[in-house]
Chains A and B, each alone.
Chain A
Amino acid sequence: MNVKDLVDALNLKVYSGHEGLDNMVTGGYTSDLLSDVMGNAPAGAVWITLQTHVNVMAVATLKDISAVILVKGLQPEPNTIVQSDNEKIPILGTDLQAFEISGKLYHLLGLK
């Protein structure tokens, strides 16, 4: 499954990083602590978070994250968008909260 499939299936907004919509999605990780993501998120994961600042993209890039989903209608900051475009890692958005979107992603990836 790639990021575009995910966007369609979960009805997500695409804020930025359109060039990365064909990135392959191999898992997910939900956390708002950057060191937790640094230490534990698997490569290829979609990262679900409420953090919107530019360091999200630094971590996402270093960890080879496939896409970031911002929860609860939160929007990325302008320099986060710039980095997302540069690194071709899409920032997506949902109005759902982290628990709900994590559950939907878990099912979608067939992990249940």
Chain B
Amino acid sequence: MHFEYRVQGGDFVRAGQASSQVKKILKQLNVSPGIIKRVVVALYEGEVNIVAHAFQGKIYVDIETNKIRVVLDDVGPGIPDIEMAMRPGFSTASPIVREMGFGAGMGLPNIKANTDKMKISSVVGVGTRLEFEVALKE
């Protein structure tokens, strides 16, 4: 099964809608709550990263028998130093975004902790692609 979602940069009101829809789909497919939790944490963090940092993005979700594969593609500033971005506590979020309780530098570490495979590729000034996979069987 393949699903696609559009994400608008700066639109915090709708942030989390794609995650919420994927959660509903996984529930309908009887995926175990523990695995749904992992997927949802990773997907929400990825979705919020697009909202907080990029101009726009698309999320591609592929659900296979044994795994879920997610690609988050954005058009945005890109990440100059991915290793630095992965460091817990490191964030380039604006003060307004931080006041909302985002931008604590926990997003990418949360994604890493909740996925079985994770890859970030980025071109500065062009955009970022985050890919992750979660096995659907424990």
A contacts, CB < 8 Å to B: 32-36, 38-39, 43, 49, 51, 53-55, 58-59, 61-63, 79
Contact = CB atoms under 8 A, between A and B. Distances in A.
A51 B113 CA distance: 25
B106 A39 contact: yes
B33 A43 contact: yes
Closest 9 CB pairs of A and B: A58-B16, A35-B106, A34-B101, A39-B110, A33-B104, A62-B40, A51-B101, A32-B101, A33-B101
A interface SS class: helix
Interface of B: 12-13, 15-17, 19-20, 23, 33, 37, 40-41, 44-45, 48, 100-102, 104, 106-107, 109-110, 113-114
B2 to A, nearest CB: 22
Nearest to B23: A62
B53 to A, nearest CB: 14
Given A32-B101, A34-B101, A35-B106, 15 more contacts: A35-B45, A35-B101, A35-B102, A36-B104, A38-B41, A38-B106, A39-B109, A54-B12, A55-B48, A55-B102, A58-B20, A59-B16, A62-B19, A63-B37, A63-B40
Nearest to A37: B101
Contacts of B33: 43
Contacts of B100: 34, 51, 53, 55
B interface SS class: helix
A54 B40 CA distance: 18
Given A39-B113, A51-B101, A53-B12, A58 B106 contact: no
Contacts of B13: 54, 79
A35 B15 CA distance: 13
Given A43-B33, A53-B12, A58-B16, A34 B102 contact: yes
